[in-house]
Amino acid sequence: MLESLSGKVAWVTGAGTGIGRAAAVALARNGACVALSGRRLDPLIETADRISPNVDLVSMEVLDVSNADSVWSAADRIVGRHGRIDILVNNAGINLSDRHWEKISPEGWNEVIRINLDGAFYCARAVLPAMRSQKDGLIINVSSWAGRFYSLLTGPAYSAAKHGLMALNASINMEECINGIRACALCPGEVWTPIIDRRPDQLSEEVKATMLKPEDVAEAILFVARLPKTVCINEMIISPTWNRGYVAALT
């Protein structure tokens, strides 16, 4: 039976847009107190406005997840403000327009790895002490179809980061299951979010309309979050029915 999130505290990174915003709204509407983080304040305020006029249910942290010290401090403030962290949605991520081998620079590679992989590690590491003391905690690592399967579309840096995130996720379950902590690697296929517009191939509105919506992925996050603590969904793959990878293979 799915459980209530009332009294739970969820930290959502990359909460200003896309999957992060949709997940924060879904978790809050199902009773969770939500801590929002992202690199810009204005989008976080917009997300908070969609959740509730009750400011006690929402807090905000302007945060670059690639800065380990800032992540640790943010986690401390969230615990100090709310008393606990029950759920981490490790969602912050980027990709580049110049992402393929003939164009990607070392600086671009480092930026993607620092945010998509290092940032996820810093956030997971920062919440583990609170979760261990509670003997309960859930970390949802938003990976990608490109983290489960090799993909030409996403470029080497993004693909490497998301494959690394899958290993990071598995290691949490291996080492922390004895502390009541579980991790789920969520692997969505193409999702129509602002990151799509950074792709080198510009897509039509008709193609975008076939993709997953952020709200679709948020429903999957909500499902995992509401499962009993004795249940661990190690990985979840979700894709559009009209999957462009499959369609290309048929033509």
pLDDT, residue 192, reads: 84
Query: Per-residue pLDDT for 248 more than 80?
Result: no
Tens-place pLDDT, residues 19-40: 999 999 999 999 999 999 999 9
User: Any idea which of 2-11, 192-201, 228-237 has the lowest mean pLDDT?
Assistant: 192-201
More confident residue, 159 or 209: 159
pLDDT category, 14, cuts 50, 70, 90?
Answer: very high
User: Any idea which of 127-141, 156-170, 206-220 has the lowest mean pLDDT?
Assistant: 206-220
pLDDT, residue 200, reads: 67
Query: Per-residue pLDDT for 131 more than 90?
Result: yes
More confident residue, 155 or 201: 155
What domains can you pick out in the chain, each with its CATH number? 9-250 (3.40.50.720)
Q: Which strand (E) or helix (H) includes residue 186? A: strand 181-188
Catalytic residues: 158
Per residue in 195-221, is it b (16+ CB within 10 Å) or e — as a string? bbeebeeebeeeeeeebbbbebbbebb
Q: How far is CA 191 from the centre of its chain?
A: 13
Percent of the chain past pLDDT 90, that is, above it, reads: 82
pLDDT, residue 108, reads: 97
Question: Is the entire prediction scored with pTM above 0.85?
Answer: yes
Q: 3-class SS at 60?
A: strand
Mean pLDDT score, 161-165: 98
pLDDT, residue 178, reads: 98
Q: Strand 58-62: give its sheet, edge to edge.
A: 58-62, 33-38, 9-13, 87-90, 137-142, 181-188, 235-238
Please say whether the beta carbons of 47 and 16 come within 8 A: yes
Tens-place pLDDT, residues 41-97: 999 999 999 997 655 689 999 999 999 999 999 999 999 999 999 999 999 999 998
pLDDT, residue 249, reads: 65
